[in-house]
Amino acid sequence: MNIKETKNFVDNVDGWLTDGEGEALYYLAKNCKGNGVIVEIGSYKGKSTIWIGNGSKSGNKVKIYAIDPHTGSSEDQKENEKVCTFEEFKTNIQNAKVDDIIVPLVKTSEEAAKDFNKPIEFIFIDGAHKYEFVKLDFDLWFPKVLNGGIMAFHDTLGLEGPKKVVADHIYKSKQFKNIKLINSTTFAQKVEQNSLKDRFRNRYIFLLKSIYKFAAKLHLPKPIIVLGKKIVKELQ
């Protein structure tokens, strides 16, 4: 499926990912060379997995390890309310015809990381969103990402957990460059050591992100928000 077909397909899959974020995942997966694999933490019903799967299929068909216990977020567990999203996930990826390159790992990120020893070219983190879990995801998976590979975190604008992890460990790090913010997702390229210019640019993107976040709180009219998103995209 191309971008348009993927968009039409995922419109009918539950989830929180925006089309802009989905397109970015599609292109990043398409650009993977096959030096490592693709990993997704938090698949839910497969919306992001399908974007990544179609991107990968239109590129080098790099395998995607889709990690999710499919029992809901530990932070959202309610007594007497069982969550199971695995059947719906499987049906959605089968209907999207991406199941042949997706390896579902029905485990938590922590369980999966224990014996996962493949190098990673691209990882999308959208699992449990409390700070301690996002930080654990970062600590567990960062060492497995190749230099030149991409780490992406969802919900880095509104939710405190992902927001603080990227602020402390991506934007201020000496091991990331080419940071981009698309809607609420922060994307960054891991490097051995970034340059002074990279660090200035990372701080500049952080400033843009803070202004964007502040403006979002003002409840501005929709056309202004759309214009703001375009400006932020152009300025990166």
Ligand X SMILES: C[S@@+](CC[C@H](N)C(=O)[O-])C[C@H]1O[C@@H](n2cnc3c(N)ncnc32)[C@H](O)[C@@H]1O
Binding footprint of ligand X on the chain (CB under 6 A): 15-17, 41-45, 47-48, 67-74, 85, 108-109, 126-128, 133
CA distance 99 to 209: 35
If you search the block for the tokens 């409390």, which residue do you land on?
A: 130
Q: How far is the CB of 171 from ligand X (least distance, A)?
A: 22
Work out whether the CA dihedral 96, 102, 107, 112 comes out positive or negative: negative
User: And the tokens for 173?
Assistant: 């790090």
For the bound state, the minimum distance from the C-beta of residue 105 to ligand X, rounded and expressed in Å, comes to 9
Nearer residue to ligand X within complex by CB, 51 or 176: 51
* CA 95 from centre of chain: 22
Cβ proximity to ligand X, 130 vs 229, nearer residue: 130
Residue whose beta carbon is closest to ligand X: 15
Which residue, 121 or 137, has its beta carbon nearer to ligand X? Answer: 137
Beta carbon nearer to ligand X, 85 or 184: 85
User: Closest distance between ligand X and the C-beta of residue 185, in Å?
Assistant: 10
Q: Which amino acid is at 69?
A: P
Q: How far is CA 200 from CA 50, 102, 163, 172, in A?
A: 35, 37, 19, 10
Question: What tokens appear for 188 in the block?
Answer: 């960054």
- Tokens coding 111: 């369980």
Report the run of H or E that residue 176 belongs to, with start and end. strand 176-182
Type of residue found at 161: G
Residues 4-14: b if buried by 16+ CB within 10 A, e if exposed: eebbebbeebe
Q: How far is the CB of 183 from ligand X (least distance, A)?
A: 12
Q: Which helix (H) or strand (E) holds 222?
A: helix 222-235
Q: Which is nearer to ligand X, 83 or 208 (CB)?
A: 83
> Closest distance between ligand X and the C-beta of residue 16, in Å?
6
The Cα 48–Cα 13 span in angstroms is 10
Which of residues 58 and 73 has its CB atom nearest to ligand X in the complex? Answer: 73
Q: How far is the CB of 186 from ligand X (least distance, A)?
A: 15
Residues 6+ apart with CB under 8 A from 78: none
Considering the complex, what minimum distance in angstroms separates the CB of residue 201 from ligand X? 28
Name which of 28 and 177 has its Cβ closer to ligand X.
Answer: 28
